[in-house]
Amino acid sequence: MLKPTHIQGVAIEALAQEFGTPLYLYDGEKIVHQIQTLQTAFAAVPLRIKYATKALSSLSVLSLIRKAGAELDAVSLEEVKLGLLAGSSPAEIMYTPSGVSFAEIQEAVQIGVMVNVDSLPLLEKFGQTYGSTVPICIRLNPHILAGGNLKISVGHKESKFGISIEQLPQILELVQRYQIPVAGLHIHTGSDIYDAAVFLKGGKVLFEAAMQFPDLRFLDFGGGFKVAYSPEDTATDIPELGRIVSAAFLEFCEKYGRALELWIEPGKYLVSEAGYLIVQTTVVKETPTLHFVGVDSGLNHLIRPMMYDAYHDIYNLSNREGATAPYTVVGYICETDTLAAHRQLHTVKEGDFLVLKNAGAYGFTMASNYNARLRPAEVLVWEGKAHLIRKREQFEDLLRNQEMIQW
């Protein structure tokens, strides 16, 4: 796999020295390229790309994504408000909550975003409150196990997300009783899906259910497109996916009797490969069995390896030639926070900069202040220039909103 030293002509090591480490670094051109790839692949259908804001919600990234022609899917009111601050209009935002209070739902309606309803109790309360006045989307659980990892598969029968497809009669009864205008149907089966057949399987569920709703404007297929994290990984063939899914969608629209919009919700696909986490080596520790490399970061900044067993390619930016040896890269957190185990790296010494790839998605957004550690800075490279889009936290940020009792 490629181990870049520069992004858009800007030296990564120079950025690490200028902004300090740990540092989240994003390639804006890669994000735009991913959006354009989807737009080309689905050019045969009326497409709306709803970026999954939770993957990376920094304002400048959201603004760039909007500039490139994509809209937003938000899972919290805070994400909705970030999208609005970044320039999106309420009409461009789908709000897909799970288990939130009805007060939050009401605030979302007041803002004017499309609410994606994912439970029968919420559907009934929504109907009782708004009747025929507010269009909604309904999230269905298609009972499809996808992605190969239960932690990131959300469309199987035991998932908390969506209304079971087996409860379609109850959905229809509530919609009829309260005359709820249903503008769209939605499914999302999970993450790391590379096979177009899985999307078609979910699409079949959508198509069959859609025939019961005469006034739809769109069908939302969700996201979960797979990117390659390791050299052996298989990525989703986006052109092939677009061709197969678009053909099935157009065939459905002909059967339905009119054209609908096709919505997709990529998150990881847009930002994962655009992101890098730059860390600096603090110690090289030899034991009788392992060579440990300690770095100035940990699971507080990138939790995916510990939470999901996720693989992130890693390389020594400061030494890219000569002998290699197996190293286990670990963080500075008082937990087992292995970032990369048994990796062949060019000889590592204290002070070297290491780069973790595919860190754009679910990296900074899942970062924390565990061990009272500070969250890193974020830099976006655009048109050959590095922009500091989030300052590194200071100790004072940990104290903000705290009040100490005077005993």
Domains parsed from the chain with CATH numbers:
6-10+274-399 (2.40.37.10), 42-270 (3.20.20.10)
State CA 70 to chain mean position distance: 14
pTM (whole model) above 0.75: yes
How far apart are alpha carbons 186 and 99 in whole angstroms? 17
Burial of 121 (0-12, 13-18, 19+ CB in 10 A): exposed
At residue 145, the pLDDT reads: 55
List beta partners, residue 388: 379
In the three-class reduction of DSSP (H, G, I as helix; E, B as strand; rest coil), residue 41 is classed as helix
State the Cα angle at 183 between 179 and 186, rounded to 5°.
115
Kindly give the parts of the chain with pLDDT less than 70.
145-159, 190-194
At residue 202, the pLDDT reads: 82
Determine which one of 91, 103, 197, 334 is catalytic: 334
How far apart are alpha carbons 384 and 108 in whole angstroms? 38
At residue 151, the pLDDT reads: 47
One DSSP character per residue, 318-386 reads S--SS-EEEEEEE-SSSS--EEEEEEEEE---TT-EEEESS-SSSSGGG---GGGPPPPEEEEEETTEE
How far apart are alpha carbons 236 and 13 in whole angstroms? 31
Does the annotation count 334 as an active-site position? yes
Q: Give phi and psi for 183, each to the nearest 5.
A: -90, -25
At residue 158, the pLDDT reads: 60
How far apart are alpha carbons 285 and 3 in whole angstroms? 25
